[in-house]
Structure 1
Amino acid sequence: MSKFFYGIEDLFVNYLFSPFDFFRFLESWWTSNTINWIFFVIGFVAMVYWMNQLKIFNDRGEEDKSISSHSYL
C-alpha cells in the first residue's frame, strides 16, 4: 500500500507541480505572483459569466420554483 502513496507523491511532485518550481527560483516578487493574478482574473470572469447566465434563466422564468420541485422540501 505504501507504493500506492509513493506513486501519488511522485505524480504530483515530479509531474503536476513541476511548472511551479520555475516560479520558486525567480527573484522578483511581481513575477512570482503574476500567475496568482491570472488565476484570480480567470475566476472572476467565470463568476461574472455564471451570474449573468443565472440571471438570464431567472428572467425567462425557466426554473421550476414550485415547492414540490424537490422531494426533500
Structure 2
Amino acid sequence: MKDFLDLIASLFEDVLFLPFDALRELELSAWFAANGLNWIFMIIAAVAFVYWMLQLKKFNENNEEDRSTKAHTFLGKNAQY
C-alpha cells in the first residue's frame, strides 16, 4: 500500500505539477507573462457573459418565456412550500 501511495505522490510531484512549477519559475522573471493565463480566463469569462446576456435578450424580445404566476410556484402569492 505504501508503494501505491508513493506512486501517486510521485505522479503528482514529478508529472502533473510541472506546468505549475514552470509558471512559478516564470513569475520570478516575467510577472505579466505568468499572469497571462489569468487574463485568458478572464477574457473567456467576459465573452461567455456577453453571449449569455445576448441570448437572454433575444428570448426576452421573442416573449418565449412563460411569465404567468402559474409558471412557477414561487411567483404566486399563495405559493406553498
Compute the TM-score of the two structures, normalised by the length of structure 1. 0.72
1:70 shift after superposition: 1.4
Gaps of 5+ in 1: 1-5
Distance 1:18 1:44 in 2: 28
Q: Percent identity?
A: 48
Listed as ranges, the gaps of 5+ residues in structure 2 are 76-81
Richer in helix (by share): 1
CA RMSD of superposed structures (Å): 2.2
CA distance in 2, matches of 1:60, 1:40: 30
Secondary structure at the counterpart of residue 51 of structure 1: helix
Q: Name the CA shift for 1:56/1:35 in 2 (closer, same or farther; >3 Å).
A: same
What is the match of residue 32 of structure 1? 34
